[in-house]
Structure 1
Amino acid sequence: MSVTTAVHLNFRGDARAALEFYADVAGGQPVIVTYKDSGAVTDPAEADQVIWGQVRADNGFHVMAFDVPAARPFSRGDASFYVSLRGDSREELTALWEKLSDGGTVVVPFGPSQWAPLYGMVTDRFGITWVLDIAAF
C-alpha cells in the first residue's frame, strides 16, 4: 500500500478558475464536480461552484480545491500555508515559475539560494503562495 498527499486549496467562488489556471501551469485536465452535480445545493447562487475538484498532471503535480459555501466561515489568513513544488529539472521548474508568476507577486526571486541551486517564492493571482526549488538534500 502507498499513501500520497495533495494540497487541498479552499476558495470562495474562485476554485474553478484556479483549477483551470493550475492545469494550464502544470498540464493535466481539471476534474470539477459542482454542488449541483452532487445534489448538494443549499444556495442556488452557489450551484455551479466547485464542491470537489482536482488537477493531476503526469509530472506528479497534484492539487485539489473547492469553494467554501457562504454559509460557512472562510478566511484565507496570512501565510497559513505554502505549496511546495520540488523537482530536479531546472527547465521544468522554470516553466512552472513563469506561469505561476504571470499575474502574481514575486516574494523571493527565482535563483540560487544558500540551501538550493534554484529557489523562489511567488504568490499567484489567486493568493496562493508557491515555493519552487531544486532539492539539494
Structure 2
Amino acid sequence: MQVQPYIFFEGRCEEALNFYKTALNAEVTMLMRYKENPVPQSSAESCGPDMMKIPPESVMHASFKVGDTDVMASDGMASGKPEFKGITLSVNPTSETEARRMFAALSEGGTVRMPLAPTFYSPLFGMLVDKFGVSWMVNVATDMPPK
C-alpha cells in the first residue's frame, strides 16, 4: 500500500507545477484540464452547481514526481483560497548543496519558519512555507548512529 499527497491549489495548480519543476526538479507526469473531462456535461451538473463554475482551463487532475514520490494535484474548486493546515511535506536531498538549492528555491516568495542549519539529527535542516501556502521541511538525510 502507498499513501500519496494530493494537493488542491484552488486555481494556482499550473503555476505551482511550474514552480516545483524548478524548485524540486519535479517532473509532471500527467495533466488533465476540466475541459478535457471525458464525463458528459450532464454528469458534471449532477455534482452540484459549484462544479459548473470552475473555469474549463483549470487543472482537474495532475501528477508530478519529486524524486521517487508521486504527488497529485488539482485546482480543486478554483476558489482562490487554498488552505494547508496541519500537514507538512518533507524532502530529503542527499547533499548539502542540493538542500541549499531546494531551500532557497522553495522559500522564494514564501516564509522561512526555521532557517537551514545543522541540527543534532541532520547536517542541514530547515522549515518554510512556500508562496502557495504549502509547508515544507528540507532535511539532509543521514544515517543516525544506533542508540
- Structure 1 length normalisation: TM-score? 0.81
SS at match of 2:102: helix
1:37: which partner in 2?
A: 36
2:113: which partner in 1?
A: 107
* 1:54 is aligned to 2:63: yes
CA distance in 2, matches of 1:6, 1:100: 20
Structure 1 residue 5 displacement after superposition: 4.3
1:6: which partner in 2?
A: 4
SS at match of 1:117: coil
**What are the equivalent positions in structure 2 for 1:1-137 lying under 5 Å apart?**
4-30=2-28, 31-39=30-38, 42-43=51-52, 45-57=54-66, 59-60=67-68, 62-69=70-77, 76=83, 79-136=85-142, 137=144
RMSD: 2.4
Identity, in percent, stands at 26
Give the gaps of 5 or more residues in structure 1. none
Letter in 2 for 1:117: P
Letter in 2 for 1:76: E
- Which structure has more helix as a fraction of its residues? 2
CA distance in 2, matches of 1:85, 1:97: 10
The number of aligned residues is 131
Letter in 1 for 2:83: R
Letter in 2 for 1:55: F
Are the structure 2 counterparts of residues 96 and 111 from structure 1 closer, same or farther at C-alpha, using a change threshold of 3 Å? same
Is the 8 Å Cα contact of residues 111 and 119 (structure 1) preserved in structure 2?
yes
